Amino acid sequence: MLFEYSPEESTFLAKVREFVTTEVLPFTREWEANTAFPDEIWPKLGQVGLLNMALPKTLGGSGMSCVGYTEACRELAKGDPALSMNVAAINALCVAHFAEFASNEQQAKYLPGIITGEIKLAWGLTEPDAGSDARRVKTKAEPTERQGYYKINGRKMFISNGGKADLIVLIARTSDTELSAFLMETDQPGFKLEKRIHTVGVCASNTVQFSLIDAVGWHTPCTFEQAIGLLYRGRLGIAGMALGIAEKAFELTLEYAKQREQFNRRLADMQSVQNMLADSAMEIRAAHLLLLDGARKYDAGLPIITESSFAKLYASETANRVTNRAIQIHGGRGMMKDFLVEKLWRDAKLTEIGEGCSEIQRLVIAKQVLK
Ligand SMILES: Cc1cc2nc3c(=O)[nH]c(=O)nc-3n(C[C@H](O)[C@H](O)[C@H](O)COP(=O)(O)OP(=O)(O)OC[C@H]3O[C@@H](n4cnc5c(N)ncnc54)[C@H](O)[C@@H]3O)c2cc1C
């Protein structure tokens, strides 16, 4: 592919690859079995520079390009997709929220701990009755006597890292027509963890449901559209995650097809298998090109509404097709826990649902092309 990383991106991505090889991939099965990441993962992510990608250097971040961010999500997913999903969302939705909407006082209070991984983050939009239709959020925020602080009541569902987070960037309703965002410390009596949600894939991610009863939130003044506008870069991160899953499954499948023999020849010599490999290779390349197109446009300051949906939709459907073919080529072994492809297949499903399901991505694209 005719594309080069900047020296800064190259140095960073080499560090991320090394981290994935030594600190992530060897533990992915253990984390899944424990349905948890170890607590030490957060400071390690901080040390590699994976928690401050969306922050400018003036705020203590790396000011990493969007290309660097999406490629890091891609590399992380080759080691552990659930970790990639968390890093993608924490950077694009939480850390970027601090860069865009938090006051100097809020930044000074929280950013130093966020960057080192001492303060763990989550992003809370989804509710039992507000999923794809995010404007239906019912969680209500009412001003208190203390300037900038609100009393918040409601319930949130499917919040990644919600059971571990020290601080949640939370979307709540401020009037019948307006929504905005709040910083909520979880260490307060009004924050009630209701249940851990166990999912078919990305199992190590701490997905939870919680309720808020007169919980206190610190307002970060922004409109609903501004807050969820961060999803455009976020979707590129999920596209990076999907691409990494597809590439890892493809790599493992190529190796397997070259060594497994039936009917006195390698699977790799059978035309039906070659067709599946050819389709996967082509779709992975196309997904990467769409992703780089979106990320480079973001870095050039151009709008990426269509591009982020193109990349997320195509990469997530590619991840699902490629992992499905990977199992097919592995045959019965593809369904065994001894082989990683079954996990990648389960993890891939999230990429077609989180940060806007495929149907919503198609709606976004159709709206743009019909303008
Ligand atoms: C593992 C996991 C982690 C998550 N992490 C977070 C998080 O950290 N923070 C957060 O806020 N949320 C999170 N989510 C929530 C996620 O963003 C939502 O699940 C997603 O937006 C879909 O909402 P829903 O599940 O309510 O499905 P619904 O909105 O009920 O949609 C169900 C299905 O209906 C169809 N559909 C819906 N609307 C339309 C339409 N307009 N046109 C055509 N078809 C449509 C689609 O097929 C869709 O998949 C997470 C979800 C999962 C599973």
Distance 40 CA to ligand 1 centre (A): 30
202 lines ligand 1 (CB under 6 A): yes
Distance 70 CA to ligand 1 centre (A): 22
Determine whether the shortest distance from the Cβ of 123 to ligand 1 is under 6 A. yes
Distance, in Å, from the CA atom of 41 to the CA atom of 193, rounded to the nearest integer, reads 22
- Active-site residue, 255 included: no
In the chain, domain spans: 7-116, 121-223, 227-369
Q: How many residues does this entry show for the chain?
A: 371
Residue stretches of the chain with pLDDT short of 50: none
Residue 252 confidence (pLDDT): 98
Q: Among 353, 362, 365, say which to mutate for ligand 1: greatest number of ligand atoms within 8 Å of CB.
A: 353
CA of 355: how far to CAs of 87, 173, 222, 232, 236, in Å? 13, 20, 20, 9, 10
Can you tell me the distance from the alpha carbon of 320 to that of 322, in angstroms, rounded to the nearest whole number? 6
Distance (Å) from CA 353 to ligand 1 centroid: 5
**pLDDT tens column, 237-289:** 999 999 999 999 999 999 999 999 999 999 999 999 999 999 999 999 999 99
CA dist 291 and 66 (Å) reads: 10
C-alpha pair distances (Å), 345 with each of 201, 278, 315, 316, 323: 8, 19, 14, 11, 5
Q: Indicate the angle between helix axes 271-299 and 66-79, nearest 10 degrees.
A: 150
Copy the structure tokens of residue 168: 């949640």
Q: What is the pLDDT of residue 1?
A: 64
What distance in Å separates the CA atoms of residue 295 and residue 272, rounded to the nearest whole number?
35
Nearest protein Cα to ligand 1, atom 42: 359
351 C-beta closer than 6 A to ligand 1: no
**Is 359 near ligand 1, meaning CB less than 6 Å away?**
yes
The CATH topology of domain 7-116 is Butyryl-Coa Dehydrogenase, subunit A; domain 1 (1.10.540)
- Give the per-residue pLDDT at 3: 85
pLDDT digits (tens, 9 = 90+) for 8-63: 999 999 999 999 999 999 999 999 999 999 999 999 999 999 999 999 999 999 99
How far separated are the first and last CA of the chain, in Å rounded?
32
Structure tokens at 140: 């209500």
Residue type, 129: D
For helices 81-89 and 231-259, the axis angle rounded to 10 degrees is 160
Residue 204 pLDDT: 98
Ramachandran region of residue 178, left (φ > 0), alpha (ψ -120 to 50) or beta?
A: beta
Q: Is 306 in the pocket of ligand 1 (CB under 6 A)?
A: no
Q: From the CA of 201, how far away is ligand 1's center (Å)?
A: 15
Both tokens assigned to 166: 């020290």
What CATH class does 121-223 carry?
A: mainly beta
* Nearest Cα residue to atom 16 of ligand 1: 354
The reply to whether ligand 1 has any atom less than 6 angstroms from the CB of 126 is yes
CA of 119 to the centre of ligand 1 (A): 27
Confirm if 3 and 58 have CB atoms less than 8 A apart: no
pLDDT at 339: 98
The answer to whether 247 and 284 are in contact (CB under 8 A) is yes
- Alpha carbon dihedral 294, 300, 305, 308, in 10-degree steps, equals 20
Please provide the CATH number assigned to the domain covering 227-369.
Answer: 1.20.140.10
pLDDT value, residue 324: 98
| Cβ contact 328:275 at 8 Å | no
Measured from the CB, is residue 181 less than 6 Å from ligand 1? no
Q: How many angstroms separate the alpha carbon of residue 361 from the centre of ligand 1?
A: 11
> Which atom of ligand 1 approaches the CA of 156 most closely?
11
pLDDT of residue 298: 98
In SS3 terms, the chain reads as CCCCCCHHHHHHHHHHHHHHHHHHHHHHHHHHHHCCCCCCHHHHHHHHCCCCCCCCHHHCCCCCCHHHHHHHHHHHHHHCHHHHHHHHHHHHHHHHHHHHHCCHHHHHHHHHHHHHCCCCEEEECCECCECCCHHHCCCEEEECCCCCEEEEEEEEEEECCCCCCCEEEEEEECCCCCEEEEEEECCCCCEEEEEECCCCCCCCCCCEEEEEEEEEEEEECCCHHHHHHCHHHHHHHHHHHHHHHHHHHHHHHHHHHHHCEECCEEHHHCHHHHHHHHHHHHHHHHHHHHHHHHHHHHHCCCCCHHHHHHHHHHHHHHHHHHHHHHHHHHHHHHHCCCCCHHHHHHHHHHHHCCCCCHHHHHHHHHHHHCC
Closest residue by Cα to residue 72 from 97, 98, 90 = 90
> 89: Cβ below 6 Å to ligand 1?
yes
Q: Whose CA is nearest to atom 2 of ligand 1?
A: 158
Taking the C-alpha atoms of residue 10 and residue 7, their distance in angstroms, rounded to an integer, is 5
